[in-house]
Amino acid sequence: MVITGATSGIGRATARVLVRRGAHVVVVGRASGDPERVAEALGSESPSASASWAVADLSRMEEVRALAADLLRRFPRIQALVNNAGGIFFTRQETPEGIERTWALNVLSPFLLSNLLLPALVAGAPARVVNIGSEAHRTGKMRWEDLEGRGRYSGWRAYSQSKLALLLVTYELARRWAGTGVVVNAVHPGFVRSRFGHNNPGFKGGALRFAEGLFAISPDRAARAVAPMVNDPGWNGITGRYIRRHRVVGSSPTSMDPAAAEHLVQFLSRQAGLPISSPRPPSAPTRG
Ligand SMILES: NC(=O)c1ccc[n+]([C@@H]2O[C@H](COP(=O)([O-])OP(=O)(O)OC[C@H]3O[C@@H](n4cnc5c(N)ncnc54)[C@H](OP(=O)(O)O)[C@@H]3O)[C@@H](O)[C@H]2O)c1
């Protein structure tokens, strides 16, 4: 089971739950988060625990591609991919590849990684992709004319748009991958006391940390909401769903628009340099 952003917060806590349940977990993180050390710690959770690691800066598509190639070589069968790495950036930044950082990390990267790992997921089927979504998607709008906030940027707007886009991707991949044995769902982990937003200095970063201190739940509690989506038999065959507090809930009307989802997937495929496959006929998210 591959978990991105497993060096801290929700990803790390989820990795611990899954390792304790007997899964072999691959910790994906940036070198600065020391995924090797995290994997070693996970491997010592119990005598039967095992974990591996891989390094990638997932905001760089070149590194996402290298990561996928490395994982496909080492793990021809993958049972689960948790697209957890993500962040909020209160000032606009571009990656060295010229992509706005929120869009690159929260949307393009999970889209590209999921697609590149599909052969191993199909080989590992029944397999699951779990995208870490957010209730923030409800305030999100797809600014089709300026998805990367070149004209006008706000960190919150970029973040809520990114989580809305991730839901559109979740539903579209679920439709496209119906019948492959690979399901795709999104889960909201709750408001969690992690390092989320701590990369931002100044008032907004401080306000987020203050609110976390007052209202947020622990990463361990969040992991108890995420881990079942990864391997509880109760969720077998469920695809194209948004889950909050262990229940399927409706997401925003915008996120349910199949035409928008199709348009977005075509856009992301072009941006990521993936072949543009023909869509399945649009239909409501399904159980499949
Ligand atoms: N916290 C919340 O209240 C909340 C609520 C809803 C949804 N979420 C979502 O939950 C997910 C996990 O967030 P968290 O709260 O656990 O925050 P976190 O503690 O900051 O963890 C984020 C993880 O992503 C990794 N990451 C960040 N940038 C990366 C990059 N460029 N390449 C590779 N890995 C990178 C981080 O690794 P490094 O050690 O390298 O930084 C870290 O392991 C995110 O998608 C977030 O949007 C969080």
Domains (range + CATH), the chain: 2-192+219-272 (3.40.50.720)
User: To the nearest whole percent, how much of the chain has pLDDT over 90?
Assistant: 85
Nearest alpha carbon, ligand 1 atom 41: 33
The pLDDT assigned to 286 comes to 47
Q: In the predicted model, what is the mean pLDDT of residues 23-28?
A: 97
Ligand 1: residue whose CA is nearest its atom 8: 134
pLDDT at 243: 98
* Dist. CA 87 → ligand 1 center (Å): 5
Report how far ligand 1's centroid is from the alpha carbon of 160 (Å): 15
Rounded mean pLDDT of 224-243? 96
* Of the candidates 167, 141, 171, the residue with the CA atom closest to the CA atom of residue 283: 171
Q: What is the atom index within ligand 1 of the atom nearest the CA of 30?
A: 40
Centroid of ligand 1 to alpha carbon of 35 (angstroms): 14
What would the two tokens of residue 163 be? 């989580």
- Per-residue pLDDT, 280: 58
Query: Would you please indicate which residues are annotated as catalytic (active-site) residues?
Result: 159
Distance 280 CA to ligand 1 centre (A): 32
Q: Tell me, what's the pLDDT at 143?
A: 98
pLDDT at position 279, please?
60
Predicted pLDDT of residue 276: 76
Q: What is residue 281's predicted lDDT score, i.e. its pLDDT?
A: 47
Q: With a cut of 80, say whether residue 283 has pLDDT above it.
A: no
Quick: pLDDT tens for 130-171: 999 999 999 999 999 999 999 999 999 999 999 999 999 999
Atom of ligand 1 nearest to the CA of 85: 24
pLDDT averaged over every residue in the chain = 94
More confidently predicted of 245 and 276? 245
Confidence tier at 282 by pLDDT (50, 70, 90) = very low
Using one digit for the tens of pLDDT, what is the confidence trace for 73-96? 999 999 999 999 999 999 999 999
Q: Report yes or no: 160 and 102 within 8 Å, Cβ to Cβ.
A: no
| 169-181 tens-digit pLDDT | 999 999 999 999 9
Reply yes or no on whether the pLDDT at 215 is more than 80: yes
Instruction: For residue 100, give the 3-state DSSP assignment.
Output: strand
Handedness of CA 258, 186, 105, 68 (dihedral sign): negative
Q: In ligand 1, which atom is closest to the CA atom of 191?
A: 3
- Statement: residue 38 has pLDDT above 90: yes
Give the confidence band of 288 by pLDDT, cuts at 50, 70, 90.
very low
Q: What residues contact residue 195 under an 8 Å CB cut-off, 6+ apart?
A: 8, 9
Q: By percentage, how much of the chain surpasses pLDDT 70?
A: 96
Which of 93, 101, 102, 195, when mutated, tests ligand 1's pocket best, judged by the most ligand atoms within 8 Å of its CB? Answer: 195
Element (H, E) at 167: helix 155-176
For every residue of 206-266, DSSP letters joined together read HHHHHHHHHHPBPHHHHHHHHHHHHH-GGGTTB-SEEEETTEEE---GGGG-HHHHHHHHH
Instruction: Give residue 277 CA to ligand 1 midpoint distance, Å.
Output: 30
pLDDT at 278: 61
pLDDT of amino acid 23: 95
Q: Which residues line ligand 1 (CB under 6 A)?
A: 5, 7-11, 29-30, 32-33, 57-59, 84-87, 105, 132, 134, 188-189, 191-192, 194-196, 216
- What single DSSP character describes residue 50? E
What pLDDT score does 275 carry? 87
Q: Which atom of ligand 1 is nearest to the CA of 159?
A: 47
Q: Is the pLDDT of residue 284 over 60?
A: no
